[in-house]
Every structure is written in structure tokens, then in C-alpha cells.
Amino acid sequence: MEQFARRNFSFLVGCADGVDCSFRRALAHSPYRERCFVACAFSGRRKRARSDGLFASVVVPEGLPPKAALHRRTLWIVKRCSLATRHPSHERLKRSVKDIL
């Protein structure tokens, strides 16, 4: 994170558990927290990110099914970033990534 911050990057991070949560925690306790935006699929997750001291907003329309909301949130992030990292958490996806590499 430090190297990206030195190059004047800001940070877009998702609202999910796992890797997103790890990045949120690291950013919340860093000098870069003011340059972080948490893109949320659900209002409850927005509240959780704000309680960590990060700016967060719901970036998808209300009323979408959960799977669709998470997918739209991910697309929203990717369309607005310069560099994206994706860390698959589902076993089937992990195997697919290993097959590609």
C-alpha cells in the first residue's frame, strides 16, 4: 500500500469479508485512510465500513438480489480503477485460476 500511496494512488475497496476486509482494516489504521473509498453493495455493510473510519457508499441500486448486487459493485470498482487485484475465495474459482496459470 505504501508504494501505491507514494505514487499518489487512492484506494477503492469492496465491502465483502475476506480480502476486502483485510484491506479495509489495513487502510483504516494507516495514514492513507483519507484516500480510501469503500464501495458497498448493501447499506448494512456501508455502516460497518464507516464505523472503521472509512468513507463508504452504496454504489448499486437498492432491491437487487444479493448475488447481482455484489457483481454490480465489483464492476463499479473495476470501471473506476487504474489497477485491480482479484482474490477468488470460492474453491472452484481458485482451481480455475490455477489452471490458467
pLDDT of residue 65: 94
Contact 12, 35 (CB under 8 A): no
The mean pLDDT value for 58-74 works out to 91
Reduced 3-state DSSP string for 10-44: CEEEECCCCHHHHHHHHHHCCCCHHHEEEEECCHH
Global pTM reads 0.73
92, pLDDT greater than 80: no
99, pLDDT greater than 50: no
Q: Which top CATH class is 2-100?
A: alpha beta
The mean pLDDT value for 66-71 works out to 91
91, pLDDT greater than 60: no
Side-chain half-sphere exposure of 75, counting CA atoms within 13 A: 7
For residue 47, give the C-alpha cell. 455502516
